[in-house]
Structure 1
Amino acid sequence: MTRTLRGALSLRLDGHAVAEYVWRPQLPADVSPRPYLHPVRTLGGTEVTELMPDDHLHHLGVSVAVADVDGANFWGGRTFVRGRGSVRLPNHGVQRHHDWTRRTSGDLTHELRWIGPAGNDLLRERRSIAVRPAGEQAWALDFEFALTNVTAGPLTFASPATNGRSGAGYGGFFWRARRGHQRIHVLGPERTGERHLHGRRSPWLALTGTSTDPWTLVFVPVAPAQRSDLWFVRSRDYAGVGSSLAWDQPLVVAAGGRVHRRILTVVADGRLRSGQAADLAGAVLAGAGAG
């Protein structure tokens, strides 16, 4: 059975507690409070997420975060304003749990409200999270969300990049990975390294941590629209990967329109090579029915 404690649920696979989903967080307003997964662990017990690290207090493990939805900040922290830079504004939104549709130890679905700083609903979200087997030393997190515009007019999804900060096209699914003092490597099908994969499209992308307890995360977009999204990647100042909704052009969603994304993340013990990551990516994608 799923354990509930202070608005948190434990996700399990074959007897392993692989993740905690905090669906009713108690957080300060300026981090844009939202449900998140932390800690996420390998089958061997190594944590592969960070929560509210000193460098970015608004990074909350694994979450859906958007820097600018019609001026509302659902990312947390400062807001990038063209001509002014990053400034503190009282514009933070909140994602609030509304209702459960399914809740087991390995499969969750719930409805959320995205509430702007004025207290009005901007979006309704249907979110599904499931844990899947992915081999003897790995498992996969299946994360799917659909955002529906519930306002009377269009909503614009933007990012610091669309607002003038080149390369900062973050916003959407985002995973803040555990770094510590280890080196982080970024892998792709043809190239390696942050500078070759940041702001690029790729059928999969992987992070590896090379500490005494090495780990690998392999991110695989599933939804057709998400396969066209560009990757936001950080491996030097911190470790994080996101699938960008608005890299260099705003995404405009009509009233009643929907944004749908699904991403699989393989969580593996050990440092995998590109070929191994590619094999896992292909296997979990085939298992998801996405060929």
Structure 2
Amino acid sequence: MKPPSKPTKHPTTTAATTSPTALVLRCAGRAVGRYHYRPALAPDLSPRPYLHPVTTLRGTPVTEERPDDHLHHLGVSVAVPDVAGINFWGGRTFVRDRGPTPLDNHGEQRHQDWKLRDPDGFVEDLSWSSGGHELLRERRTVAATELTDTAWALDFTYSLTNRGTEDLSIGSPATNGRPGAGYGGFFWRAPRAATPPTVHTADAEGESSVHGRTAPWLALTGPDWTLVFAGATEETRKDPWFVRTEEYPGVGSSLAWDTRLPFPAGATVVRRVVTVVADGALERAEAAALVRKALS
């Protein structure tokens, strides 16, 4: 799947691969994900497009949608809890000196148009708005690539532009007073199992050792699958990893870990995360080799 140099006509698709609200993502001829681009969600879930289920090549699910512990966790999505005070994450908003608070401040990401739509990926335009007012415009590029007969890569790029005339900023619960909760950006909710997943980077192991730190790649391993997340641009690699294993299984790349990210009028923020989706448990050398192949 190659992004077009100019808008193209939508290719003909069948009911098996697309619908008025979702499309199927394929890799090596197999369905590996379903992208909900017009989901019907309650306002307090901060409606947004998301991928679920995402599976390994053998069909093992590696995402979870609206789990009981966090109803606003939606598979793989771009979720930001504070864009100039608007919640694009879902759930309660962390308010300094008050804690998590239900507020009527939820925004939504609305699908606008396809620039490209192929079985193995797409290019999409979205509008981030609240109360009919657009704050940001996004260009999203997603592609699936086969790596081996047991591993494939999800290449996910989002480019956010402040098209308004006012300067904005991006924050997180951490920037609003909750230490260690610097989440917001690309976020992957993995499925729960009887035993929490393990997590490691090339030189550290365990949630407390990798959470809030930068690393070229980070591997989350469940009972019969491994996800290896890698920042694919210089700016993305500067973002710390947000990691949960015990409370729930999830990994994110954080835009505003402990300080707000300025977002001037006319500016664009671009992030690219490539995720290796593999069957079985990967050793460090295997994870590193697949990341190199995915990024090559």
Range with greater deviation from structure 2 (121-130 or 5-14) = 5-14
Is residue 281 from structure 1 mapped to residue 294 from structure 2 by the alignment? Answer: no
Superposition deviation, residue 110 in structure 1: 0.7
Superposition deviation, residue 134 in structure 1: 1.2
Alignment check: 8 A CA contact 2:196 2:249 kept: no
**1:45 aligned counterpart, secondary structure:** coil
Cross-structure match for 1:218: 228
Distance 2:195 2:149 in 1: 25
The percent identity for this pair of structures is: 56
Correspondence for 1:82 among 96, 102, 126: 96
- How does 1:1-291 map onto structure 2 within 5 Å? 1=13, 3-116=17-130, 118-210=131-223, 214-286=224-296
Distance 1:57 1:24 in 2: 18
Range with greater deviation from structure 2 (12-21 or 194-203) = 12-21
**1:5 aligned counterpart, secondary structure:** coil
What is the aligned length?
282
Question: Structure 2-normalised TM-score?
Answer: 0.94
Whichever residue aligns with residue 158 of structure 1, its letter is G
**2:273 aligned counterpart, secondary structure:** strand
Alignment deviations for residues 181-211 of structure 1 (CA, whole Å, 9 cap, x no partner): 233000101011110000000000010002x
Distance 2:282 2:176 in 1: 37
Alignment deviations for residues 90-120 of structure 1 (CA, whole Å, 9 cap, x no partner): 000000001110001112001000002x320
Alignment deviations for residues 10-36 of structure 1 (CA, whole Å, 9 cap, x no partner): 011122110000001000000000000
**2:128 aligned counterpart, secondary structure:** strand
**2:63 aligned counterpart, secondary structure:** coil
After superposing on structure 2, the runs of 4+ consecutive aligned residues of structure 1 that deviate more than 4 Å are none
**2:148 aligned counterpart, secondary structure:** coil
Range with greater deviation from structure 2 (271-280 or 162-171) = 271-280
Distance 2:194 2:268 in 1: 40
Superposition deviation, residue 6 in structure 1: 4.0
Distance 1:192 1:142 in 2: 25
Distance 1:65 1:42 in 2: 23
Distance 1:262 1:81 in 2: 29
Alignment deviations for residues 47-101 of structure 1 (CA, whole Å, 9 cap, x no partner): 0000000000000000000000000000000000001100000000000001110
Range with greater deviation from structure 2 (253-262 or 175-184) = 175-184
Whichever residue aligns with residue 277 of structure 1, its letter is A
Question: Structure 1-normalised TM-score?
Answer: 0.95
What stretches of structure 2 of length at least 5 have no aligned partner?
1-12
